Amino acid sequence: MDPFATLGLPRRYALDLAVAEKAHRELSRALHPDRYAQAGASERRDALSRAVAVNEAFRTVRDPVSRAEALMTLLGIAVGDGHEPKADPAFLMDMLEQREALAEARASRNAVAIADLRDALRATELGAQAELAAGFDSGRAAELVGKLGELRFYRRFIDEAQAILDDLSDCASTA
């Protein structure tokens, strides 16, 4: 499935997500089951199938990692386990240090330090996304597989830091 074609979007990494959301909303409205309530069973199934495809396409294009994976797959570039180069040792060491700092901040329940770590990695993630966008635009997608791996590391770290902050917030609000 080509999520870009499904939503009527150009095959680009640097997408205007507001445009993607608008396309999703319009297609979702057009394919809503209520519009097909009086239709035959096969037409209802077809509309439901297309609605599911639209929702999946939107989930893919709105997520930076999934969007890059989809573009690479459409370009015939294998991604995922076993297809990506080993990460740079300096990058891995930096991520290990970031994770240790996150663990220390979590142990001390230091929400400010956790938020600072999360925000710093968000800035790094945005830089990686800019590199991906430039690489895709210049036709260097095959060279970007390693950058996609880095983006996955950043995303996991940011999600973990946010989950810790959410847990700390929940504990504070119930105390």
CATH number of the structural domain spanning residue 138: 1.20.1280.20
**Radius of gyration from C-alpha coordinates of the chain:** 20
Are residues 158 and 106 located together in one domain of the fold?
yes
Average pLDDT value for the chain: 92
* pTM (two decimals): 0.86
Are residues 104 and 140 located together in one domain of the fold?
yes
> Where in the sequence is the domain holding 51, given as residue range(s)?
3-62
Alpha carbon distance 111, 115 (integer Å): 6
Mean pLDDT of 162-168: 95
Q: What is the pLDDT of residues 24-64, one digit of tens each?
A: 999 999 988 778 888 888 888 888 899 999 999 999 999 99
Are residues 117 and 166 located together in one domain of the fold?
yes
Mean pLDDT of 77-98: 88
What domain count does the chain have?
A: 2
